[in-house]
Amino acid sequence: MAPTRSSVLVSLGVLIAGVTKAASDVVQIEQTPNGFLSSPRGWNSYGIQTNPATNPEFQFDQAGVISQCDVLATTTALKDAGYVYCSLDSGWSVGDRGDDFGRIIYNDTIFDIPGLADHLHSQGLLLGVYVVPGAFHADEGKTILGTNVTIGSVCSGDNGLSRCNLDYSQPAVQQWFNSVVDQFATWGVDLIKLDYVTPGSPVNGATLPQDSSGEVIAYHKAIAQSNRQIRLDISWKLDRSQTYFEIWNANADSMRTDQDINNSGGTTFVAWEVLQRAIENYRQYIATVTQYGTTLTIYPDMDNLYVGNEAAITGVTDAQRQTIMTHWLGAGANLLLGSDLTKLDQFGLNLLTNPRALEVAEFTSRYPMLPRNPGTGENGPQQLQAWIAGPDAAGSAVVIIANYGPNQGQGSWETSKSGIQTVNVSLTDLGIAGTYGVVDVWANANFTVDDLGFSVELDEGQSVLYQLNP
């Protein structure tokens, strides 16, 4: 008889600063505050903007963005796999002022946002835009649309981004957010990336207020009244304490778990050292938020996904590219590519569109992975690591086993085991029992596993991705 959900679960201990605490047995994500049942898939411009050496011909303007995003529409495998978001990062808008009502406006010397939205929508794609907190200093004398209140009377200080800090307790401030989002809706915007949210965001040269969580609440309310379904993705490396996590969870659709992972200004997109950090930050995130007993209604954003281009452009080996994809899938994370879509290679395209991998993404959109240490079933940082997503009510699960290699400086494990390592993971370690049929997703192979579990030889940066069915 197949094991029931109750029979295969054991309690997960959460190791935070050396203290073990009880947590939920299986993590589940339900519908997000703005009505989504999965994380977004598509492309974001930030990687090429900040790593111009990866594509010197790219210009961040209407034509340049279309040249990238048209690949999503014309590559049938990508479009059929749901890679439909075309998300603009910083630089699309006028950076020092808004319109007559202080609303955010696009820089019409490089973009026609309504025209871009029409172009994307005609091809079945969706548009995302980037914003930061606050209203413009230059607009303090302007009146908020639908009120007789000036922006300067409800906005003060300087956050270092040419903006003042809004007083979220003032009703007119919500009117300002409503007016901004309503205009986005008329343009055809489908996703808003709200950056520099505090607490959590590093200063990074700005003078951010200690708490701009009201910005997230206000954008959520504005989206709700706009009569358009719009995602809200908040950034970056946000505070994970219960007080603030409950705000993010109740108002946003995804939240960043790390800082930027790309090699800003480099000749390649990423480095394995930083990917070790990104995976470790997800481990810390999921281990923390599962303590709270809060129903999860938000997806993790592990930053842009850099797996689409050959190793010489991406900056990591093909095995590491596969490991990156595996962990983004396992986490149920945003799958917004930062790669150069005009230079996708076959290996990268297969990572993104593999039918079995997409089945995993469907599963982990409801059951994101939890760490289970080989040999103990605990969840601290390790070089040789295992993860389990689920099991669901039918007993199905997803398992990931990895060798991250020696800590290159930004991980949290202490071991430095070089070369190929044998990783032994029992079903007890994973918190399940019984006999399972296993699909090796990337190898397209099938086998059976019992309580003895798995014994896998993995080189540095390698991992395996398994689907388990009782």
Q: pLDDT tens, 206-264? A: 788 999 999 999 999 999 999 999 999 999 889 999 999 999 999 999 999 999 999 99
Lowest-pLDDT choice from 20-29, 223-232, 292-301, 416-425: 20-29
Q: For this structure, is 195 an active site residue? A: yes
Residue 297: helix, strand or coil by DSSP?
coil
Lowest-pLDDT choice from 24-38, 248-262, 316-330: 24-38
Rounded Cα–Cα distance for residues 227 and 158 (Å): 32
Q: pLDDT tens, 57-94? A: 999 999 999 999 999 999 999 999 999 999 999 999 99
Q: For this structure, is 451 an active site residue? A: no
Catalytic residue, from 195, 233, 253, 340: name it: 195
Cβ atoms < 10 Å from Cβ of 422: 10
Cα angle 256, 262, 268 (rounded to 5 degrees) comes to 160
pTM: 0.94
Q: pLDDT tens, 287-319? A: 999 999 899 999 999 999 999 999 999 999 999
Looking at every residue in the chain, the average pLDDT score rounds to: 93
Please tell me the predicted confidence (pLDDT) of residue 237: 87
Q: Which CATH superfamily is domain 41-368 in?
A: Aldolase class I (3.20.20.70)
Domain segments of the chain as ranges: 5-26+371-469, 41-368
Contact 107, 93 (CB under 8 A): yes
pLDDT band at 205 (very low <50, low <70, confident <90, very high): confident
Lowest-pLDDT choice from 89-103, 113-127, 193-207, 361-375: 193-207
Contact 126, 86 (CB under 8 A): yes
Cis ω before 236 (30° cut-off from 0): yes
Mean pLDDT of 372-397: 96
Contact 340, 315 (CB under 8 A): no
> Domain 5-26+371-469 falls in which CATH fold?
Immunoglobulin-like (2.60.40)
pLDDT band at 202 (very low <50, low <70, confident <90, very high): confident
| DSSP code at position 305 | B
Catalytic residue, from 260, 301, 303, 429: name it: 260
